[in-house]
Structure 1
Amino acid sequence: MRITLERSNLLKSLNHVHRVVERRNTIPILSNVLLRAEGASLAMKATDLDLEITEATPAMVEQAGATTVPAHLLYEIVRKLPDGAEVLLATTPDGATMTVASGRSKFSLQCLSEADFPDLTAGNFTHSFKLKASALKMLIDRTQFAISTEETRYYLNGIFLHTIESAGALKLRAVATDGHRLARADVEAPSGSEGMPGIIIPRKTVGELQKLVDNPELIVTVEVSDAKIRLTIGEIVMTSKLIDGTFPDYQRVIPQANDKEMRVDCQSFAQAVDRVSTISSERGRAVKLALNEGHLTLTVNNPDSGSATEEVAVGYDNDPMEIGFNAKYLLDITAQLSGDDAIFLLADAGSPTLVRDTAGDDALYVLMPMRV
């Protein structure tokens, strides 16, 4: 293999694929990126056996061929080369090493045979549909903060994506929960998604996907089966295994009869919560909300360091009530709201609270209270 390509193109593609590779690997080939030069492009592939990303980039191919080299090492070398540089990649006749040359810099990397590189066999996809990158990004951004990190409840370690009939229209819905809070977001269901199986996309796949859908104009092709999902974003193809488990019936925890409404300016509320929670203990993070007509008092008590209170003007004309929440969870939710105001629908101190965005009803949040 012998090819020449621009540093910027090589770096951009490497940046997308190398992140999949785990830093510590017991299987040496999984530390490598597969490079395949043919036609007028260089195709790169990286995998951790659960997630695979491939991308092609333009290149001048003098001699076609394929090899695998350490992914993070190659990325760091290319990253440190000067802007605008041309990079030559060439393997030795025996395929044992690959030279990376640019200007006066020359590196020699150990290769492993491309024949040993694993392939994440995709199988047949039962459903295929196209979605705007901006819509997919919205679904991810609004929900991914609520994904559970608790390994024992592995079926909560991802985003549940499914279609559902809502208000007389078919919606594509994303849901995530960790048992303390729940986030739900909807977009109009694209053609082809009807009847697709409900799937749980793993946390790592969600994180990588979030970085790849940064151009809102792109159209993403989504293909799903019971066990895998494949997403095509421009030149990038991402294939991932799905979480093999049953997502709980989240509809049951969404309260329907919360009749006490509090409307508050989102920014001033978030800033007040952030200020008073400065004094809370790392373990507790509890903030008490005392609601009275027209105003809200936020209180934090920490036996070790003191207490803090702050008042915020709110729209509320119901019976006085007190309820406690984890300050971090409140801040996570308010960070997702795009409207000026947040609407809290409450029942009592021991029941889940519903949070809505004034900018639209395509997202909704449920927050479990804390004892304070």
Structure 2
Amino acid sequence: MRITLERSNLLKSLGHVHRVVERRNTIPILSNVLLRAEGSSLMMKATDLDLEITEGAPAMTEQAGATTVPAHLLYEIVRKLPDGSEVALTTNAEGTTMSVSSGRSKFSLQCLPESDFPDLTAGTFSHAFNIKAADLKMLIERTQFAISTEETRYYLNGIFLHTAESGSDLKLRAVATDGHRLARAEIEAPSGAEGMPGIIIPRKTVGEIQKLIENPEAMLRFEVSDAKIRLSFGEIVLTSKLIDGTFPDYQRVIPTGNDKEMRVDCSTFASAVDRVSTISSERGRAVKLALTDGQMVLTVNNPDSGSATEELAVSYEGDPLEIGFNAKYLLDITGQLSGDDAVFKLADPGSPTIIVDSSGNDALYVLMPMRV
């Protein structure tokens, strides 16, 4: 293989694919990136056996061929080469080493044969649709923070994506929960999503999709089967296994009888929660909300360091109510709201609370209270 390409093109594509590669690998080939030179492009592929990303970069091919080299090492070398330089990649006759040369710099890397590189064969996809990058990004951003990190409940370690009927409309809905809070966001279902199976996209894949969306105006191709998804972003193709499990019936967790409504300016409330929680213990992190007509008092008590209170003007006309929440969870949710006001729908101190955005109904959050 002998190929020459612009450093900037190589760096950009390597930047996308090398992130998939785990730093510590017991299988040597999984530390490598597959490079295949043919025609006027260099195709790069990396995988961790659950997730695979491929991308092509424009190049001048003198001799076609393929090999695999350490992904993170190649990325670091290219990153440190000067801007605007050209990079030549050449393998020796035996295919055991590849030289990376640019200007006066020359590196020699150990290769492993292309034939050893695993292929995440996609199989057939039952459903395919086009989705605007901005819509997919919104679904992820509004729900990602609520993904569980508890490995024992593996079916909660991702975002549940499915279609759901809302009145006469069909919605594409994303849901994530860790048992303490639940996040739900939805958009109009794209044409072709009808009848697709409900899928759980793993946390790592969710993070990679978010990083790969660089142009919100772009259209993405989204393909779904029972076991895998494939997303095409122009030159980039991401293929991922799905979590093999059943997502719980989240609708049962969303309360329907919360009749007390409280409205508060979102940024003022978030700043106040942040201030009073300074004094909370790392373990507790509980903040008490005491609601009366038109007023809320936030209180944090920490037996080891003291207490803090702050008063806020709110729109509330129900009976006086005291309820406690985890301060970090409150800040996570208010950070996702795009409207000026946060709307809390409450029942009593022991029941889950619904939090929605005053600007629209495309996202809904459920938060379990804490004893304070």
| Fold-level similarity (TM above 0.5) | yes
Deviation at 1:82, TM superposition (A): 1.0
2:199 is equivalent to residue 203 of structure 1: no
**1:102-125 Cα shifts (integer Å, max 9, x gaps):** 111111000000000000010110
TM-score of the two chains, using structure 1 as the length reference: 0.99
Question: Does structure 1 residue 107 correspond to structure 2 residue 113?
Answer: no
Taking the aligned partners of 1:299 and 1:167, their CA distance within structure 2 comes to 40
In the alignment, the residues of structure 2 paired with residue 186 and residue 332 of structure 1 have an alpha-carbon distance, to the nearest angstrom, of: 18
Q: How does 1:213-228 map to 2 (within 5 A)?
A: 213-228=213-228
- CA deviation profile, 1:104-153 (whole Å, cap 9, x unmatched): 11110000000000000101100000000000000000000000000000
The 2-side partners of 1:218 and 1:115 are apart by 35
Quick one: which amino acid aligns to residue 76 of structure 1?
Answer: E
Instruction: Tell me the CA shift for residue 214 of structure 1.
Output: 2.6
Residue 7 of structure 1 corresponds to 7
Equivalent residue, structure 2, for 1:94: 94
1:74 is the counterpart of 2:63: no
C-alpha distance in structure 1 between counterparts of 2:93 and 2:255, whole Å: 67
Q: CA deviation at 1:337?
A: 0.3
**SS class of match (2:72):** helix
Residue type of the partner of 1:87? Answer: V
Q: How many residues align?
A: 372
Which residue in 1 is equivalent to 2:234? Answer: 234
| Cα RMSD (Å) | 0.5
2:186 equivalent in structure 1: 186
1:367 and 2:367 are equivalent in the alignment: yes
Matched, 1:51 2:82: no
In structure 2, how many angstroms separate the alpha carbons of the residues matched to 1:346 and 1:162? 28
Distance of 1:351 and 1:359 partners within structure 2: 25
Matched residue of 2:154: which SS? helix
CA–CA distance in structure 2, aligned partners of residues 225 and 119 of structure 1: 17
* Corresponding residue of 2:175: 175
In structure 2, the residue corresponding to 1:98 is in which secondary structure? strand
Q: Which residue of 2 aligns with 1:349?
A: 349
Alignment partner, residue 37 of structure 1: 37
Q: Following TM superposition, by how much is the alpha carbon of 1:312 offset from its aligned partner in structure 2, in angstroms?
A: 1.0
Distance in 2, Cα, partners of 1:58 & 1:313? 59
Q: 2:117 aligns to what?
A: 117
Q: What amino acid sits opposite 2:98 in the alignment?
A: M
Aligned to 1:269: 269
Q: Does 1:128 align with 2:100?
A: no
Q: Could you tell me how far 1:225 is from its partner in structure 2?
A: 0.5
Query: Identity over the aligned pairs, expressed in percent?
Result: 82
Structure 1: gaps (5+ residues):
none
Instruction: Output one character per residue of 1:299-341: Cα deviation in whole Å (capped at 9) or x when no partner.
Output: 0000111111111111111111000000000000000000010
Partner of 1:325: 325
Aligned residue type for 1:244: D
3-state SS of paired residue (2:108): strand
User: Structure 2: which amino acid aligns with 1:200?
Assistant: I
Alpha-carbon separation, structure 2, partners of 1:290 and 1:164: 36
User: Equivalent residue for 1:258?
Assistant: 258
Q: Secondary structure at the match of 1:336?
A: coil
In the aligned structure 1, how far is the partner of 2:305 from the partner of 2:338? 34
* Separation (CA, whole Å) in 2 of partners of 1:277 and 1:80: 43
User: What pairs up with 1:127-166 in 2 under 5 angstroms?
Assistant: 127-166=127-166
**Alignment gaps of 5+ in structure 2:** none
Measured after TM superposition, the shift of residue 252 of structure 1 is 0.3
Question: Which runs of at least 4 in structure 1 moved beyond 2 Å after TM superposition?
Answer: none
Residue 281 of structure 1 aligns to a residue whose secondary structure is coil
